[in-house]
Amino acid sequence: MITLVEQSQKVEPSPAQMMDWYRQMALIRQFELRCAQSYQQQKIGGFCHLYVGQEAVAVGSIAAVRPTDYIITAYRDHGHAIARGMDCQSLLAELYGKASGCSHGKGGSMHFFDREKNFFGGHAIVAGHVPLAVGLGWAIKYRKEDRVVLCYFGDGAMNQGAFHEALNLAGLFKLPVIFMVENNGYGMGTHVQRASAVAELKLRTGDAYGIPGKHVDGMDCLAMYEMTLAAAQYCRAGHGSLFIEVKTYRYRGHSMSDPQKYRTREEVAKYQEHDPIGRLEKLLRAKNLLDDAKVQAINNEIHAHVEEAHHQADMAPFPQTQDVWKDVYANPYGPYKS
């Protein structure tokens, strides 16, 4: 039996760290609310999946890994990108289809990328990216590097073949990958109990693939940090992969066009009582790190920051139409190139 947190050295996060997480979570929330507004104003096209409610997952876990570690996620990727330190302006520019977007207007909401920050996307086919995480882990092992991979996906991904093939390979080759399922209860509109024969997801990888399963409260940023820190230590020590079931909840619909007939307002309200930002705020108030004035000041500052990023992104130029031919290949060629 593997016990993680007990084995690891418990590190009490510093006041500065916790304040930083609070800011990051507040930033993600305001960013997402801006997105909702911009979507309604038709500045954002395509699908747009908001992270509201799940902020503690990305913030707490990414805080626990190093900038050199690899991060890869699914299509609900705004929160992870911000927690990884990607610039809001380049993200909004991407959402608005601008040339200055983080993927030069070629990816959109579901395909944020940042090579410099070891952020490997943003992937839209459910579970299609999980084998890629295994490849990143393979490269780390092959090159004998001191890195881990943090791979996020939703509960819906766990019923896809690609997920199971990936987990089997990771378990077989003992690769340094943390598989983190953000179980927000629903794969689009289908409750996890209507989709998974074994609804307790943490049980699904241990006996099957030799990858121990843990679970953590995803509405608690500190718990996320502690669990991920321990998991990263486990992977760095060469023990292989780890699976973490994160219990979380999204307040908004699956995407912007979701009437949410599959759940009640009461259910959403119940989860909002455990709001990850409110929870950390309460803790920080108890430690005298926050008060009403500071909360107001932080929120004003973040609001101004997001609005400025929005304004800049909105003003930024669209790509040139001849840019469609860029980055198809290393060198353009062919009868139908421009």
Strand 190-191, strand 186-187: pairing: antiparallel
Comparing CB distances to other proteins, the nearer of 24 and 103 is 103
| Cα separation, 60 vs 226, whole angstroms | 8
The token pair at 44 is: 């954002």
| Contacts with other proteins, residue ranges (CB under 8 A) | 70, 72, 101-107, 111, 113-115, 120-123, 125, 128-139, 142, 161-162, 165-166, 168-169, 172, 326-330, 333-335
> CA-based diameter of the chain, in Å?
67
C-beta neighbour count of 323 within 10 angstroms = 14
d(CA 110, CA 17): 29
By beta-carbon proximity to other proteins, the closer residue of 70 and 249 is 70
∠ CA 188-194-197, nearest 5°, is: 120
Closest distance between other proteins and the C-beta of residue 86, in Å? 12
**Cβ density class 3-41: b for 16+ within 10 Å, e for less:** ebeeebeeeebeeeebbebbbbbbbbbbbbebbeebbee
Name the pairing type of β-strands 177-183 and 149-154. parallel
Nearest approach, Cβ of 14 to other proteins (angstroms)?
Answer: 32
> Is 120 or 225 the residue whose CB approaches other proteins more closely?
120
Which pair of tokens denotes residue 144? 């004998």
Nearest approach in angstroms of CB 60 to other proteins is: 25
Smallest gap from Cβ 243 to other proteins, in A, equals 16
Which residue, 54 or 118, has its beta carbon nearer to other proteins?
118
From the CB of 157, what's the least distance to other proteins, in Å?
Answer: 13
CA distances from 273 to 28, 43, 113, 249, 269 (A): 19, 32, 33, 11, 6
* Residue (78 or 250) nearer to other proteins, CB: 78
Helices in 215-315 by DSSP H: which ranges? 221-236, 265-272, 276-286, 292-315
Cβ proximity to other proteins: between 282 and 326 the closer is 326
Nearer to other proteins, 101 or 154 (CB): 101
**Rounded to whole angstroms, how far apart are CA atoms 209 and 169?**
8
Q: Which is nearer to other proteins, 99 or 295 (CB)?
A: 99
The minimum distance between CB 7 and other proteins, in angstroms, equals 28
The CB-of-91 to other proteins minimum distance in angstroms stands at: 13
Q: Nearest approach, Cβ of 130 to other proteins (angstroms)?
A: 7
SS3 call for 164 = helix
